[in-house]
Amino acid sequence: MLRIWNKRRIAGVLGVIALAALSACDADWAIHFVSYEQYSASEATVAVLYKPMPLVVLGNPTTVSDGALTTAVAEGLQGSHIVHDTIFKPSGPGELHPYRTVIAFGAVGQADICAAAAGSVPAGQTQMMNAAFCRGSEALSYLQSRIGTVSNLTASSFQKHVQAVGLQLFPSKNPNTDR
């Protein structure tokens, strides 16, 4: 009986510690789905061999200009590609690039994100931020994340989230197939 009580007590103490640690985190930001159905690290490397990685940002949950948001996202993505010195270059949604990174502030599904058109997202609302590494209209890697209210593009929480998104989009190995 004493052993069971001690195990429960230890589990309770660990639960309180975990809750305290989680409450110290920025709870408004979370990546909650990642897909690597078509991803390969070698293709991600080839995509940036001779040029910067085009970046398309759809939607704008802030009160700043679209250009300022795209610049902030590009800066946040720096160093996240498996080729660490990759430069993410803002590109318009109408420009055709065989490979590109798409960040969509709003609910855009995996089947649609690479061909999605710019849409309006109300400022200051907690919402989805979806992202994909695209080849043509196909998402090679895709993720869904939740973002909090975006009020400061230079805030470390925003920059860290964008960095985490990039790291998830461009892993050194496909977790589904490379073992």
Domain boundaries, the chain: 27-169
Residue 125 pLDDT level (bands cut at 50, 70, 90): low
Buried b (16+ CB within 10 A) or exposed e, 141-162: bbbbbebbebeebeeeebbebb
Buried b (16+ CB within 10 A) or exposed e, 65-96: eeeebbbbbbebbbebbbeeebebebbeeeee
Provide the H-helix boundaries in the chain. Answer: 2-24, 41-46, 66-77, 156-169
Determine the average pLDDT of the residues in 98-120.
83
User: Over the stretch 78-90, which tens digit does the pLDDT of each residue have?
Assistant: 999 999 899 999 9
- What percent of the chain is modeled with pLDDT above 90? 44
Neighbouring-strand partners of residue 147: 127
Residue 154 pLDDT level (bands cut at 50, 70, 90): confident
User: Over the stretch 5-43, which tens digit does the pLDDT of each residue have?
Assistant: 444 444 333 333 333 333 334 457 889 899 998 999 999
Q: Between 118 and 56, whose confidence is greater? A: 56
* Residue 126, pLDDT score: 56
**170-176-178 Cα angle (round to 5):** 80
Residue the block writes with tokens 């709003």: 106
* Residue 79, pLDDT score: 92
Determine the average pLDDT of the residues in 114-137.
75
* Residue 75, pLDDT score: 94
Determine the average pLDDT of the residues in 141-152.
86
Provide the H-helix boundaries in 81-155. Answer: none
